[in-house]
Structure 1
Amino acid sequence: MKIRSIKLKNIHSFKGEVAIDFENGPLAQTGLFAIIGPTGSGKSTLLDAITLALYNATPRAGVLSKASIEKTGAIITRNTEDAYSEVEYDAGGKIYRARWEISRARTGNLREYDHSLATKDAEGVFRNLDLKRKEVAVQNATIIGLTYDQFMKSILLSQGEFARFLKANPKERSALLEKITGTGIYRRIGMKAFEKQRDQKLLCDQLQQQLGTIVMMDEETRLQTEEQLKVLKKEAENHRKLSGEINQQIERKKQLLLRRTTLQEVLDQIEKLTQKQQEQQGDAERLKLHRTLLPLKSDIDRLLSLRHKLLEDGEEESLSKVRLQKLQDEIKNSKNQHAAAKQKSEGLTLEAQKMQPVFDEVLQLDKQLDAHRTTLQHIQKQILDIDKETIQTQEQQKTLGSALQAIDEKLANISRFLEQNPVLEKLPDALPEITNEIKHATAAGELLIKQINAALPAQELTAATSSVEREKLLSEQHQQLTTHRQQLIDAMGGKIITTKEILDQIRHLEKLLSGIIKLLQLLGEKEVLRKAEAKTEEELKQMNEQVAQAMKNCDTSSKAIEIADSRLAELEATKTRQALEANYEQARQLLQPGQPCPLCGATEHPFAEGRPAHVSDIELFIKKQKEEKTALAEKLKAQQEQLKIAFSEVKTREHTQATQQQRQKELVVEIKKTENLLPEDVAANDVSALQSQQQRAEMDLAKAKNNLDTVQEFLALEQNIKTVAELTDKNSALLLQEQNLARLLAPYAVYLSECRNDYVKISKTLANQLHYYRTAIRQQQEKKEEKTAVDTKIENITKRLEELALAKGNLTKEQQVQQTKFTELHEQRVGLFGEKDVAAAQRDLTQRQRAAENQAATLATQLARSETAEANENRQLLKLGEEIEKRSKESEALEATLQPQLAAANMVSVKEAADALLPAAEARRIEEMLTAHDKATSQAEFQRKTLQGEIDELQKNDDAALTAEMLVEKKTAADEALDQNNQRTGDLRRRLQEHDENTKRHSKILQQLKAQQKEYQRWDTLNRIMGDAQGMRFSRFAQRLTLLHLLGRANQHLKKLSARYILINEGNENEDELFVIDTLHGDERRSVNTLSGGESFMVSLALALGLSDLAGKKTRINSLFIDEGFGSLDQETLDTALSTLERLQHETNRTIGIISHVAALKERITTQIELTKDAGGRSSIVVRG
Structure 2
Amino acid sequence: MIPVRLELEGFGPYVERQEIDFTRFFATGLVLIRGETGAGKTVLLDAMTYALYGRSSGGTRGDFADLRSLLMPPDAPTRVTFEFDVRGRRYRFARWLRVRKKRTGAYEYLPAQDAFFLSPNGTFTTFFENPRQRDVEEKARELIGLNCEQFCQVMILPQGQFERLLVAKSEEKEAVLVSLFHAERWQRIAEQVCMWANGLRQRLDQEKAAVQALLDGQGCADADTLSDKLKQTCEQLAGQAARRQAASDTLDLKRRVFEEETRIFGLFEERRTVQGERERLENRAPLMREKQERISAARRAVQAEGACAHAAAAAAELERRQAAVQQAEKQLAKTRQALLTAAGALEACEREEPFHAADQARLARLETLRESYRLLGEAAHTKDQSDALWARAVRSADGARAHLEACRSRKERLEAERIRIFEGYSARLPALREELAQLERIAQAQERFGQAAAKAEACQVQYAALLAGRAAKQAAREEARGRREELGRRYLQNAAAALAASLSEGMPCPVCGGTHHPSLATAAGDAVSDARIAAADRAVTQAERAYDLHEAELTKAEAGMQAARELAESLRAECGPIPAQLAGQLEAVRRSVREAQEQDAHAAEVAAELEQAVSALEQAQDLAVQEASALEQTVCGRQKAHARYEALAVQLDPELPDYAALEAALKAVRERCAAYEAGLKRARADESAARLAEGAARTAAEHTMAELERCRAAYAQAQEGMRQALDCAGFRTSEEVAAAVLPPETVSAWEQEVVENRARLEAASRQMDVLDGQLAGRSLPDLARSGQEIAALEKQKAELDARWGALREMCERLKQLERDCRARQQALDARRAECDRLTAFGKLLRGDNGVSLRRYLLGVMLSSITAEANRLLKNVHGGRYQLFRTAEGLGRSRKAGLDLEVFDAHAGGRRGVSSLSGGEKFLVSLALALGLSAVVQAQSGGIRMDAMFIDEGFGSLDPRSIADALDVLASVRGSRRLVGIISHVEALRESIEASVEVVKGRTGSRLKLHS
- Normalised TM-score (structure 2): 0.48
Higher relative contact order (CA 8 A, sep 6+): 1
User: Larger % of helix: which?
Assistant: 1
